[in-house]
Amino acid sequence: MSETAMQTEKMNDAHTTYLRDYQVPDYLIDEVDLHFDLHDDATIVTSRLRIRHNRFSSSKKHDLLLNGEELKLESLLLNGEAVKDSAYELTDKMLILHDVPDNFELQITTRIYPQKNTALTGLYCPHTTYCTQCEAEGFRRITYFPDRPDVLARYTTTIAADEKKFPTLLSNGNLIASGKLENGRHWVKWEDPFNKPCYLFALVAGDFDLLKDTFTTQSGNEIQLRIYVEKGYGEQAHHAMYSLKEAMRWDEKTYGREYDLDIYMIVAIGDFNMGAMENKGLNIFNTKYILAKPETATDEDYIQILSVIGHEYFHNWSGNRITCRDWFQLSLKEGLTIFRDQSFSEDTLSHAVMRIQDVIALREVQFVEDASPLAHPVRPDHYIEINNFYTSTIYNKGAEVLRMLQTILGKTLFRKGMDLYFTRHDGQAVTIEDFVKAMEDVSGIDLRQFRLWYSQAGTPIVSVEDDYDEEQQIYRLNIQQKTLPTPNQPNKKPLHIPITMGLLDQNGKEIPIESQSEVVLQLTAAAQTFTFENIPARPIPSLLRNFSAPVKLNYPYSDSNLQFLCKHDKDAFNRWEAGQQYALRLLLNLIRDYQHDKPLQLDPEYIAMFEHILKEKNADKFLLAEMLKIPSEKYIGEQMDIIDVDAIHAAREFLITEIATQLQTTLLAIYQANQSAKSAVFNIEEVGKRQLKNRCLMYLMLLPKYQELGLEQFETSLKTNMSDLQPALTAIANLDNPHREKALEAFYEAWKHDALVVDKWLSIQATSKLPHTLATVKKLVRHEAFDIKNPNKVYALIGAFGQRNPVNFHTASGEGYAFLREIVHQLDKLNPQIAARMVNPLTSWKRYDKERQALMQKQLEVLLQDTKISTDLYELVSKSL
């Protein structure tokens, strides 16, 4: 078969689902009674379904369509009688029953093989723990069912298993019964009183350490809190429990949302495709977002745990009590819940730093996505594989859309809109349109134009010019917006863009605008002029404060303007942004000089600004540490028409080395002044000290005379403080000397029995700047610490190398591309979801020089030649080509 024929065959197999084709389900399910009999060789699943015809269905047929994959049908009973062979059809994807009545009970018994399930969707058992992952379409790998989010039912789940091997048996809802069986087996029965879609079903069976606590809601209900972790790791669940209770308090205070069951359970699993899953009453988490103690987890880990715990808890209302009508509405639950967890992290930790970090993630991932062949709207209109749409656009851009909506309405009206949304749609599967309508109803604001944010892909470019009339004391901002074409969307309409801004005088003081220090400009046309009266002197504008819209801003700031804003702007985000834009401007100039073989020189004004930041009195140290970061190589590349990885790397290394060289005395003094005896304490003051100290260490370690500092910090923190240990080892891993191998070996020997710490060890080596890193990564693939079946290991080694080490991944020989293609091919046979995530670095091949383009394109074409390529991988590869 020719390559073209193979691709055509695969294209025919790859069914595309369109939003325009949505139809209500023909049949609804009121009750689901599940029985799981867990055995070493197989699991028997019996489901009893109370089914009724949907009176809103337009279908003339009385056929019941049930999804099912990797299932062995054992028996099929309708109202207690066996269904005749002629009354149903069975394919590898579907069970179809013909001419069913309007109301009936269906009992289905299937046999499944969780121990063989390497895709980690449905019910799987990679080692000694059974676990489920049903979002988006995993429930069909457990039993035959209408696997779609708009079929809501009440679930009862009975689980039977060997009591010695699996003393803990969990499912959604409240435990209502349990008992003993013969041959050392036992059973439990769980009941969830709330209707839910099947993607929120969960089951866990295993042997765990258990951390217990309680939480009393604002109305006085006592909730039992349970966190289950792998045996021997119970001591590492305390921060997760703290985070859960903080999230519960925050949601009551901020949105008036109380928890609604008697018990809230979390289980940490080491083999998990996702970060976490919000299954009703039984959240399942990747261990990465639960386990933490100072010896093994960094401050960044603690912060991520707080955020992800909050995210999954907040889903109880924004995702569970109210869910999506269809998967095109995914951002309805994910974008909203990301916005809620970002707000929670800002309120709990640091408004400025959390906002900065969220914007960095948005620019480095989502903006890239918006400019790629894989660009799609926040509400897509079609997909081949829904797993490919758990993207930064759906999540992070979706959150930014909600943040803009709050800015446009104001916090008071936005909260009223949220209250109306929760009240109006509780217990329903709804659409993004339903959410926006609630906001319109409480505010009276016409949001028809704002809705375009959900249907139009691409990152808007906002260009600003200004003029000042000294005689009239009038200042004007002339603002234009445009969005470049994206796949299937060549023509773009103007969006409703809120631009928060202020004006500064030449002394750095705010100039009042309508008696306020800042205002929100509502940009709704392709071009608009905003006029400000009674402005006594030409101001310096502070635009897009707190990053009030997910856009690219162009304004002709001079270098001195950027220095001024970095020193004086009252908006912390814009202070940081001014420093970043100044550094980016210098870096792009250095890149041009490098490309033309000119000697690299640094503007002394930049060093002066950097020193001013370092020496600022009474500074927020957490924010200061963030301001000392230089734009990443990835972000720099996105500002170029053709990404030149070698020039970017050379220019950035030159800049950070110059900073280290010229400011070494100040950096050393700050490093020494921020040593702390409270290395085990997680609070913002101590986190700020550690972050600032270790940012200074990163610079100092670029100079040979200070490398002993890193080696000493490594030795003193090896078994006591991961927040100091990881940055020290990261810096050492970039040294081409014997200390490097000794430190890496010592780290592994100390922590080889802790899977999450080993993941750090893998990532540190995968992101090393040294030229032999690809060879190291290939060697690590064969190391005992690596398991290609474990997603965390793949993310830590392969993901880190492909996505966080551009200079070595994009080596001119193309070896990095061939290596990644080989790994992706292996993964696709085991776990298509992870294969699709790993192929991402190859999909942006058109952004590079012609030589690299050809090399990357070749590897994508090789992947596409596989006639057994998964739909997950096929969709991404074919679209990128």
Tokens of 423: 């009240």
Tokens of 508: 């750095």
**510 three-class SS:** strand
**Residue 312 annotated among the catalytic residues of the structure:** yes
Phi and psi at 105, nearest 5°, equal -110, 130
Q: How many CA atoms lie within 13 A of 623 on its CB side?
A: 21
DSSP of 283-311? EEEEGGGT---TTT--HHHHHHHHHHHHH
Place of tokens 């069970």: 95
Cα 456–Cα 837–Cα 799 angle in degrees, nearest 5: 125
CA distance 467 to 8: 57
**660 three-class SS:** helix
Dihedral of alpha carbons 849, 366, 132, 138, sign: negative
Longest dimension (CA), the chain: 95
CA distance 509 to 501: 14
CA distance 335 to 341: 10
HEC readout, 427-487:
CCEECHHHHHHHHHHHHCCCCCCCCHHHHCCCCCEEEEEEEEECCCCEEEEEEEEECCCEC
DSSP of 539-567? -EEE-SGGG-SS-EEE----HHHHHHHHH
Selection from 228, 44, 57, 201 nearest residue 132 by Cα: 201
Tokens of 845: 């091949």
Beta bridge partners of 662: none
Neighbours of 210 (CB within 10 A): 12
CB contact at 8 A, 175 and 103: no
Specify burial of residue 693 (Cβ count, 10 A radius: 0-12, 13-18, 19+): buried
Selection from 589, 598, 588, 563 nearest residue 578 by Cα: 563
CA distance 471 to 450: 38
Q: What letter does residue 41 receive in the DSSP assignment?
A: S
Scored b (16 or more CB within 10 A) or e, 37-47 reads bbeeebbbbbb
Query: How far is residue 232 CA from its own chain's centroid?
Result: 29
The beta strand positions in 513-634, using DSSP E, are 519-523, 527-532, 540-542, 552-554
CA distance 410 to 404: 10
CB contact at 8 A, 438 and 417: yes
SS3 content of the chain, % helix, strand, coil (to 5): 45, 20, 35
Per annotation, catalytic residue among 312, 334, 577, 658: 312
Non-local CB neighbours of 828 within 8 Å, separated by 6+ positions: 835, 866, 869, 870, 872, 873
How far, CA to CA in Å, does 856 sit from each of 372, 805, 811, 853?
Answer: 15, 16, 11, 5
Non-local CB neighbours of 280 within 8 Å, separated by 6+ positions: 172, 173, 192, 194, 196, 200, 202, 261, 316, 320
CB contact at 8 A, 115 and 40: yes
Q: Give the strand order in the sheet containing 276-277.
A: 208-216, 222-230, 263-269, 282-286, 276-277
Query: How far is residue 118 CA from its own chain's centroid?
Result: 23
Active site residues: 312
